[in-house]
Structure 1
Amino acid sequence: MNKYIKLSLIFLIVIILFVAVSCNKKESYSEKEVYKGNLNIVTDAKYEDQFRTSAEKFKEIYKKVNVNVKTDSNIQGNLKNLLSDNSSDADIISINDENLEYDLNKFKNNILDLTDSVSNYKNTIISNKIYIDTVNGRIYGMPWDASPELILYRKDIFKNENININDIKTWDDYINIGKKISGDKCKNFIGNNEASSNFNLILANQLGTSYFNYNKKLDFNSEKWNRIFELKKQIYNENLIVNFNSEKELIKAAQSGNIVSVIANPYTAYDLMKAMPDSKNMWGVMKLPAFECGGNNNVSIGGINLIVNKNSKNSKLAEEFIKFALTDDNLQIELLNKYGRLPVYKNSYNFVDMDKYIGYFDNKIWKLFSDSQNGAFNIEYTKYFPDIYSEINSFLDPTNIKNKDAKTVFSDIEKALENKLK
């Protein structure tokens, strides 16, 4: 074959390969539609820095976009005004898990249906979080963060008591250890931030229920809630748990040395490291004990979701921001390392940073959190949840649990809520 023909064929093959690679290459953000304009995000102060960081990264790609992050200490109370068609101050709004279906029931005409816009990436979001945003088969929000629960424990105290955490399989095991340590050291055995990690819902999620079952009916007549009640009775009768009203109070107690173990979500673990930087060899981490040997010890409750104001003139821009903020690889890791925010993007759980050893806890704590998130049951909130949450918790307070039987307490709950659930 003529050498010129050979060279021509080689050149043609190179061109074909180049075109094939270019066509199969993942579309870069710079190749997408050019967005411009102002985008307003309203969130709680706790999440302000996370959204500002996300906004900065978004603007690096979409240079004609200006993202404003505003904080509101009472989003739930102000939601009607934030969603008003006369308002241009809120394109994206963050709301808590427990409020999503409740808010949708009240303001459905003002909350954008995201089903179509997220269809090409919804399967990359962990299923037990996007489940919360799905109502009657339609998606009205996207989860921002994951909030699985682990136990942080005083490794030094456990070591002095010759306690091997590998021997702790069940809550009964943990209670027996607590009785010994609390008696010897006069310390509170378990500390919990009730504001973000409601102990009732933690135990319920372990057993695959909540205040409501998957049929959206109250579940207090179930065997599961009888088991929860009896476990709490043991814990309260032995005075093993102290519930705090905020993370700040919980960490202050940990700093004072009065807490042996802490029920912690990723934010709590991260904030403890920052608050007690010189306590590197003090804290260890483990999954929650199960109800029985071999039982479920994965739990996830709480977090926030992003909804889009249907009246927004920037809804397409808002949808693009949400997609970027949830799926950009580098951003997920930056938010984890800077703020302790556990991503909801499945691919993130395979990143090196999620599997890295954290010397402070002598463990791969982010891997433990992600395993717990992936293994946790879905949780039912329903449109009634915010209206009945406090009332149910008042019936399940330590005094009632210590002094009454489960049948009486659950009967009282159902009577009190009978008219509210119609």
Structure 2
Amino acid sequence: MTNLGGGDKVRKYWKLFMLTVVSVLFMVACSNNNSASSNKEGKSREKVTLTAWAWNVNVGALNEAMKEYQKRHPNVELKVEDIGRLDVYDKLSTGLAAGGKGLPDIVLVEDDRIHGYVEAFPKGFLNLSEKGFDKHANLFPQFKKDLTTVKGNFYAMPFDAGPVGMFYRKDLFDKAGVKPEAIQTWDDFLEAGKKIKEATGTYAMPLDKFKDDPIFRMMLNQQGIYYFDKNGNIDLTNPKAVRAMEMLKKFDDAKLIKNVDGWNGVVSATVDGSVATIPFGAWYYGTIIDQAKDTKGKWGVFLLPAFEKGGNRAANLGGSSWMIPASSKHADEAYKFLEFFTTTKDIQLMTMEKYGLFPSLSSAYDSELFKSGVEFFGGQKIWELFANEMKDIPTAYYTNDYSIALDEAIKAQADVFNGKDATKALKEAAKRIKDRTKREINTY
């Protein structure tokens, strides 16, 4: 009986032990499941705050896009610092030189600076092709892809562009009996400018003759050349560059260029009607409707004149794209948000409608917005005109020495306006660029 009792007791304790083990295992399993669920849910609920640097209307566009993005990604927030265009570059250069210290997750960079930054800081930015952005490549025009890729890899997501047009005063053209459709070449425009000046007293176009060269740059771009060629050689001695500079001199000799003081001078000439046209990127539309409200219905747009009949009339001036510093602690989240921002048609249409930022996203051009007339421009379909131009815009090659070339090209322009031969002035400018950059000069 004692042995049997001991056996019963052992069996009783054994059952109790097994019951305890099973209970513990069950609790551990539940605990693990709850923990995984908690981690999973915790991750989805975890707030991620992206930081961005931008300026002007781009700040509003970024914030508007984030509001839409948060409908499906409520865990992502955005803090945008509007610190001014030049301040962005100062802070960006300083941060990159310090190995990424203090940089944001997202930064807006103008297209003419992208290659320079990547060449100077090859490990400073996220390689977007490695993140999968190549699958979107066919959504953008070739020139924009060339500006945002380095050695075949995307380092920036294409954003706004600046297809060029001649914003013109219809009332002044009408008074002079000039029809914009008759202006096919720069020579045509030169003759038209003389007629307008005689009939109205207004200049053909504004230009800060000794401090900036936007018209010269447009003329280079439409001809498929720029300060540098595809290989990075200095190309200011190109006969096409000489032709462009000589054409500008013809307008100046005919007293058709109004010398203005920088951006404010261009805007003032727009408002007071002292110029008949303003050759600029599509983005200048916003300035006209904002600063010259009283001129509603008096404006139109035609394409940049060609250098010969049937020649290319497409060019670009301005435009920017989004980059992600490699130091970002939220690179994946920044990439996903910017991918949404730059490749979603409705978002790009929103940035154009609300902020006047002309999209690089080609799929946006088949929307009703681009097929509709613009009331301020007398019902003209100006957005359709600009959109049709995008596919024909040649690529401008900037390099990391763009600022030096710009400086010397402006000096060459000043020399020409002061009477120096265009060929000589551009050769001298090319030599100065070579001395400052050690790049080779193309010979012709």
Question: Could you tell me which of 296, 309, 326 is aligned with 1:280?
Answer: 296
Compute the displacement of 1:306 (Å).
Answer: 1.2
Compute the displacement of 1:379 (Å).
Answer: 1.0
Query: What's the CA shift string for 1:227-278, capped at 9, x where partnerless?
Result: 1122111012122223655544423322212121111322211221233334
Conserved in 2, the CA contact under 8 Å of 1:188 and 1:242? Answer: yes
Conserved in 2, the CA contact under 8 Å of 1:236 and 1:402? Answer: no
Compute the displacement of 1:292 (Å).
Answer: 0.9
Question: Could you tell me which of 399, 406, 409 is aligned with 1:392?
Answer: 409
Matched AA of 1:386: S
Once residues 404 and 271 of structure 2 are traced to their aligned partners in structure 1, the CA distance between those partners, rounded to angstroms, is: 35
Compute the displacement of 1:402 (Å).
Answer: 4.8
Matched, 1:120 2:146: no
Compute the displacement of 1:384 (Å).
Answer: 1.4
Change (3 A) 1:155 1:193: farther
Conserved in 1, the CA contact under 8 Å of 2:125 and 2:326? Answer: yes
Conserved in 2, the CA contact under 8 Å of 1:147 and 1:373? Answer: no
Compute the displacement of 1:308 (Å).
Answer: 0.6
My pick for the range that moved more, 269-278 or 219-228, is 269-278
Question: Counterpart in 2 of 1:76?
Answer: 89
Question: Counterpart in 2 of 1:212?
Answer: 228
Once residues 138 and 414 of structure 1 are traced to their aligned partners in structure 2, the CA distance between those partners, rounded to angstroms, is: 30
Question: Counterpart in 1 of 2:41?
Answer: none
Question: Counterpart in 2 of 1:378?
Answer: 395
Structure exhibiting the larger radius of gyration computed from Cα positions: 2
Matched AA of 1:393: I
Partner SS state of residue 143, structure 1: strand
Query: What's the CA shift string for 1:31-77, capped at 9, x where partnerless?
Result: xx998501111012342222222222222231111111112221222
Question: Counterpart in 1 of 2:17?
Answer: none
Once residues 178 and 110 of structure 1 are traced to their aligned partners in structure 2, the CA distance between those partners, rounded to angstroms, is: 48
Partner SS state of residue 302, structure 1: strand
Question: Could you tell me which of 74, 80, 100 is aligned with 2:114?
Answer: 100
Mapping of 1:208-357 within 5 angstroms?
208-242=224-258, 244=260, 246-357=262-373
Compute the displacement of 1:303 (Å).
Answer: 1.2
Conserved in 2, the CA contact under 8 Å of 1:34 and 1:62? Answer: no
Query: What's the CA shift string for 1:271-330, capped at 9, x where partnerless?
Result: 212333342221111111111111111111221121111011110111111111111122
Matched, 1:181 2:192: no
Change (3 A) 1:323 1:193: farther
Once residues 35 and 294 of structure 1 are traced to their aligned partners in structure 2, the CA distance between those partners, rounded to angstroms, is: 59
Change (3 A) 1:293 1:70: same
Partner SS state of residue 225, structure 2: coil
Structure 1, unmatched stretches of 5+, are 1-32
Question: Counterpart in 1 of 2:179?
Answer: 164
Conserved in 1, the CA contact under 8 Å of 2:280 and 2:317? Answer: no
Once residues 270 and 431 of structure 2 are traced to their aligned partners in structure 1, the CA distance between those partners, rounded to angstroms, is: 39
Compute the displacement of 1:211 (Å).
Answer: 0.6
Once residues 123 and 222 of structure 1 are traced to their aligned partners in structure 2, the CA distance between those partners, rounded to angstroms, is: 32
Change (3 A) 1:392 1:86: closer
Compute the displacement of 1:367 (Å).
Answer: 0.8
Conserved in 1, the CA contact under 8 Å of 2:170 and 2:300? Answer: yes
Change (3 A) 1:89 1:382: closer
Partner SS state of residue 353, structure 1: helix
Mapping of 1:35-50 within 5 angstroms?
36-50=47-61
- What's the % identity of the aligned pairs? 24
Once residues 190 and 376 of structure 1 are traced to their aligned partners in structure 2, the CA distance between those partners, rounded to angstroms, is: 22
Aligned Cα root-mean-square deviation (Å): 2.2
Conserved in 1, the CA contact under 8 Å of 2:100 and 2:325? Answer: no
Once residues 276 and 298 of structure 1 are traced to their aligned partners in structure 2, the CA distance between those partners, rounded to angstroms, is: 26
Structure 2, unmatched stretches of 5+, are 1-43, 439-444
Question: Could you tell me which of 46, 52, 63 is aligned with 1:52?
Answer: 63
Conserved in 1, the CA contact under 8 Å of 2:186 and 2:307? Answer: yes
Partner SS state of residue 312, structure 1: coil
Change (3 A) 1:180 1:229: same
Partner SS state of residue 301, structure 1: strand
Question: Counterpart in 2 of 1:368?
Answer: 385
Matched, 1:136 2:151: yes
Conserved in 1, the CA contact under 8 Å of 2:105 and 2:331? Answer: yes
Partner SS state of residue 128, structure 2: coil
Aligned residues: 389
Conserved in 2, the CA contact under 8 Å of 1:111 and 1:307? Answer: yes
